[in-house]
Amino acid sequence: MRSLWILESMNRSLCRIFVSCSMVMMLYINLSAQGDVIGTITIESGDYERYNTPVYADISHFNLNASDSISLVEVVDGQRHLISSQIDRSDRTILWWIVHGKTSRQRVRHYEIVAGMDGESKSMESTDNTMTLIIKQEETPVFAYQYGKAPVPEGVSEIFSRAGYIHPLWSPAGQILTRIQPPDHYHHYGIWNPWTHTEYKGREVDFWNLAKDQGRVDVSGKPAVNTGSIYGEISTVHRHIVHADSQYTKETEVLREELSLRAWNIDPGQRAWLVDVSSTLNCSSSDPLTIKAYRYQGFGFRARENWNDENLHMLTSEGYDKSTGNATRAKWCKVSGPTDNGMAGISFMTHPENYNYPEQLRIWPTGANEGEENVFVNFNPAQDRDWIIHPGKDKVLKYRMLVYDGTIDSLTAERYWHDFAHPPSVQIQKLTPLQGKRILVYTRNGEGYRHENIPFTIKALTKLGTEHGFAVDATEDAGVFTPANLARYDALIFSNTNNKIFDTEGQRTALQSYIRKGGGFVGIHIASGSERDWPWYWKMIGGTFFRHPKKQVFSVDVVDKAHPSTYFLPERWETKDECYFHKHYNPTAHVLLTADLATVEDDKKEDYPGDTFGNALPIAWCNTFDGGRQWFTALGHDAERYEDPQFMRHILGGIQWVIE
């Protein structure tokens, strides 16, 4: 019961912290004043609930310069919030951030990548004392990596001195959870990753038991450090050296390990850490190294001195404990015990891509070491079989540690493991920069009703062009529809055109030719009422206006939550407009928005549309027809709509999509 109470208290604290931090980090920003949106990202939680989840987006194809500043904005119910992010430019251009708070199963979260803003601030720090690098969350230490050889206790052989391990690993409350050089095993070093039983050219080499003097692990040079608002990382190289003997006259490097240690800033309230350990193994010589099957080797943990059989809580993902877990397989193993500040622990997680997953565990069973100072856990990919590391073929092992104060239950351990093993899906859409583009806005009306909003649409679209760097030419002259003139434009916008809008067949042919050559087309509101007798135009714009009930407030549902013209809208958008009914719908069109007909007052509804659409009437869509891209919204009757930033963002997304 106490375990559950601590967990619930921890979760409540995290929620309070998240809310307060949201007020600081997730600041509402004005769309038009803060740079261009150059891409969108959609996160889908999938089958698992998420909580404070690290995610990334590979934006290398955005071709950013090293000096370009960008930021990440989360869009929640139509509101935009600046969030912390961090860019890794070491190989590709990777944008990292934390999906903060709880994300339920089958939920979607939306983000914008904005150019011209810097969304990075330092939260993770590092210190270096010439022997040890410490990664900290602000001023609180998370873990230390020893890159200089540690001195040995008095009276102990120098052969036991080594570097290349994590110690201390601190709990969020500052309690040390690891131990090095215990009297029972001077070669135990906190959290480390050596191999016990290997074979190189027929010779047995032990890199774990240093007293054998067969091999050792050296740190190659000074590690690299990368810190920012999302993570602090230490990158280093471990050289596995075979010692000289009567057979080999000189030392030989046989295995190189590229090690990444990364602490995530998942919880600014410092109630939990996430630390990732990624080990890439590659042969240093032209001969393979065989890691022979043996009961202990690989990723290991030696716990603090006072943890023992009596006070330890240990449980694996398969339900085994300290007395029964040795040599069993597990996805995770959580270990906790008393500290000077109450209980604290670590949940060790392995990754499905690891060799021989889920690896077998080496756990010192109950009674080992006479029941005292006897907590040792080891994920071993080569406990029951040999593992050959061939030259030129990298092998990667990935582990994650959830470090916490108090205790956690199995559901929490499983949830964090799912985040590691099955992260949320990430969809990235690069938006075509509109800088330097030219757009033709056409507003011709034939005989019949003419919308009074037209001057306001021209003004709003011109303003949009000024803000985003594209030129706007507005006209009612059908004479501009010639192949040579239309070739000057990256997109056409038919803004509230209506009825007959062309004078000659040549003008219609010019429009067809433009579309067939890949031209972009945007239609707004009554543009679907243009050229009502021309079937090609029906198909191109997606339908023909038929009628509408009185202007009123009704509900609009977002069907495509990832499209650049809709992702930022609330899932249900209450809007005041005319609800357009169309005929001759193009069945190949992709619906973006639907009107909920249950919220529309219409005494002719039974005549048309009847039950054609159920209660979901398409009112915005996009399509790729006859060689070009088309986007249409039926909304936009009142002049005031074109002063609404959200509605203009809707149109801007359509422009970006057709020009892409």
User: Where in the chain are the domains?
Assistant: 167-423, 438-659
Residue 478: φ, ψ to 5°: -65, -15
Question: What does the pLDDT read at residue 22?
Answer: 34
Residue in the block written with tokens 């996805």: 331
- pLDDT band at 366, cuts 50/70/90? very high
Tokens of 201: 């050219």
Q: Is pLDDT of 16 > 70?
A: no
- CB-based contacts of 65, cutoff 8 Å, min separation 6: none
Closest residue by Cα to residue 660 from 634, 621, 622: 622
Look up residue 240 and give its amino acid.
H
* Cβ neighbours around 534 below 10 Å, total: 17
Mean pLDDT of the chain: 92
Helix, strand, or coil (residue 511): helix
pLDDT tens digits, residue range 560-591?
A: 988 999 998 988 999 999 999 999 999 999 99
Higher pLDDT: 291 or 267? It is 291
pLDDT over threshold 50, residue 391: yes
Q: What is the CA radius of gyration of the chain?
A: 32
Give residue 337's identity as a one-letter amino acid code. Answer: G
* pLDDT given for residue 561 in this prediction: 87
Around 367, how many Cα atoms within 13 Å sit in the side-chain half-sphere? Answer: 3
* Model pTM score: 0.84
The pLDDT of residue 270 is 60
User: Where do we find the tokens 């990548």?
Assistant: 113
- What are the C-alpha distances in Å from 348 to residues 188, 277, 315, 336, 462? 18, 10, 11, 11, 57
Q: For 76-103, write each residue's pLDDT tens digit.
A: 987 889 999 999 998 899 999 999 999 9
Tokens at 113, concatenated: 């990548």
The average pLDDT across 219-239 equals: 97
Amino acid at the residue 569: L
How many angstroms separate the CA atoms of 600 and 585, rounded?
20
- Three-class HEC string of 12-68: HHHHHHHHHHHHHHCEECCHHHCCCEEEEEEEECCCCCEEEEEEEEECHHHCCCCCC
What pairs with residue 603 in β-bridges? none
pLDDT band at 659 (very low <50, low <70, confident <90, very high): very high
Angle (CA) 356 361 366, round 5° = 165
Tell the residue number behind the tokens 């009297």, with chain if given. 183
Measured from the Cβ of residue 369, the count of other Cβ atoms closer than 10 Å reads 15
Selection from 265, 300, 295, 296 nearest residue 279 by Cα: 300
What number of CA atoms fall less than 13 Å from residue 565's CA on the CB side? 29
User: What distance in Å separates the CA atoms of residue 153 and residue 151, rounded to the nearest whole number?
Assistant: 7
Hey, what's the torsion of the CAs at 166, 171, 176, 177, to 10 degrees? -70
Other Cβ atoms less than 10 A from the Cβ of 606: the count is: 9
Confidence of residue 268 (pLDDT cuts 50, 70, 90): low
pLDDT score recorded for residue 218: 96
- Cβ atoms of 408 and 334 within 8 Å: the answer is yes
Name every residue whose Cβ is closer than 8 Å to that of residue 492 and which is 6 or more positions away in sequence: 439, 440, 442, 486, 511, 514, 519, 520, 521, 522
pLDDT at residue 24 is higher than 80: no
Class assignment of domain 438-659?
A: alpha beta
- Measured CA to CA, the distance from residue 27 to residue 74 in angstroms comes to 10
Confidence grade of residue 34 (pLDDT, cut at 50, 70, 90): low
Residue 269 scores a pLDDT above 90: no
> In residues, how long is the chain?
660
Residue type, 360: Q
Which amino acid belongs to residue 38?
Answer: I
Q: Quote helix, strand, coil % in the chain, to nearest 5.
A: 20, 40, 40
Q: Residue 510 has which token pair?
A: 């010019």
- The three-state DSSP-derived secondary structure of 279-310 is EEEEECCCCCEEECCCCCCCEEEEECCCCCCC
pLDDT at 1: 32
Beta strands in 326-375 (DSSP E): 332-339, 342-350, 360-363
Helices (H) and strands (E) in the chain, counts: 7, 41
- Residue 466 predicted with pLDDT over 80: yes
pLDDT digits 0-9 by tens, 148-181: 999 999 999 999 999 999 999 999 999 999 999 9
Q: What is the mean pLDDT of residues 314-337?
A: 98
Q: Could you tell me if 439 and 492 are in contact, meaning their C-beta atoms sit under 8 angstroms apart?
A: yes
* Phi, psi for 527 (deg, rounded to 5): -55, -25
Query: Cβ(559)–Cβ(589) under 8 Å?
Result: no
CATH of 167-423, one of 1.10.760, 3.40.720, 3.30.310, 2.70.98: 2.70.98
Here the tokens at position 537 are 């135009």
Q: How far apart are CA 589 and CA 541, in angstroms?
A: 9
pLDDT band at 212 (very low <50, low <70, confident <90, very high): very high
